[in-house]
């Protein structure tokens, strides 16, 4: 049965609130996800929270499922107040449910490249909103997942998890330094597709092969020259107005749909 916590001084409240900081997430191997939609998508993908906070039950069947699944897995279910949830999430208008999850394994070697024809690779991505949009794009195009290269934004930050809108749980995700990623990529099949304003070829000109790995660079700097040199295909998107580049997440989406639309048109 759920237990009640209404005191801000409760040790569990303090522990979960601390997960808003990266050092605490790393030390404890836990992260926070908020909202009935995100937690339901996580449950459908096989992820059950270790701790579930909620308020204003209202007999919602999806919340009933979350409570039952958490209790069945031996997790802790806690009825609390909106003020406590505000303290945990940092949002002025908190969601009515919040889950604490075990951090996902980001080891590159656990990825099975044969599981999908398309993968997305992000190098030194810094914005949690971009990370969320890229993960949602990957889900939309049926990509296998996202590989974070070098020093990227923490995918388990409250802001990043919120931005993924559940795609963190439906997409595989891994992280590795560039050299390790290249060694892993070249150990099997895979075409590395980079985007650069310095490229000579239009993004619609090549015929992309499977499996394809779309590589997007840092929001401000783009891809380093040595990373561009490693790409099997380097392309650019035409900029017909005054803007000199696209947002990293938008460019990723344009490339991903170009690749899969080519494959869809093939007999």
11-39 pLDDT per residue, tens: 999 999 999 999 999 999 999 999 999 99
CATH number at residue 248: 3.40.1280.10
Same structural domain for residues 51 and 174? Answer: no
Number of domains the chain is built from: 2
The pLDDT value recorded for residue 108 is 95
What confidence score (pLDDT) does residue 266 get? 81
Query: From start to end of the chain, where are the E strands?
Result: 3-4, 30-34, 51-54, 76-79, 97-102, 118-123, 145-149, 172-176, 191-195, 201-202, 212-216, 233-236
Q: In this structure, are 254 and 135 located in the same domain?
A: yes
The pLDDT value recorded for residue 4 is 86
Range of the structural domain that residue 36 is part of: 3-102
Residue-level length of the chain: 267
Are residues 91 and 112 located together in one domain of the fold?
no
136 has pLDDT over 70: yes
C-alpha to C-alpha distance for 267 and 216, rounded to whole angstroms: 29
Same domain, 90 and 144: no
Domain identity same for 114 and 229 = yes
**What number is the average pLDDT over the span 171-182?**
97
């Amino acid at each position: 049965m759920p237990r009640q916590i209404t005191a801000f001084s409760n040790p569990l409240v303090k522990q979960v609130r601390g997960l808003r900081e990266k050092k605490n997430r790393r030390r404890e191997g836990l992260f926070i996800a908020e909202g009935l939609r995100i937690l339901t998508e996580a449950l459908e993908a096989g992820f059950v929270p270790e701790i579930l906070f909620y308020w204003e039950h209202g007999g919602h069947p999806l919340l009933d499922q979350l409570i039952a699944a958490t209790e069945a897995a031996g997790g802790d279910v806690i009825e609390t107040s909106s003020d406590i949830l505000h303290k945990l999430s940092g949002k002025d208008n908190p969601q009515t449910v919040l889950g604490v999850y075990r951090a996902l394994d980001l080891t590159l070697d656990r990825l099975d490249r044969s599981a999908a024809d398309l993968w997305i690779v992000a190098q030194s991505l810094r914005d949690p909103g971009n990370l969320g949009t890229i993960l949602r794009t990957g889900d939309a195009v049926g990509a296998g997942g996202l590989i974070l290269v070098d020093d990227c934004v923490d995918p388990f930050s409250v802001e990043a998890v919120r931005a993924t809108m559940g795609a963190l749980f439906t997409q595989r995700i891994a992280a590795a330094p560039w050299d390790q990623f290249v060694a892993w990529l070249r150990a099997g099949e895979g075409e590395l597709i980079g985007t650069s304003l310095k490229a000579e070829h239009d993004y619609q000109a090549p015929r992309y092969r499977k499996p394809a790995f779309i590589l997007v660079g840092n929001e401000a700097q783009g891809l380093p020259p040595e990373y561009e040199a490693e790409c099997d295909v380097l392309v650019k998107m035409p900029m017909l107005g005054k803007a000199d580049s696209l947002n990293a997440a938008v460019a990723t989406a344009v490339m991903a749909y170009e690749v899969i639309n080519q494959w869809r048109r093939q007999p």
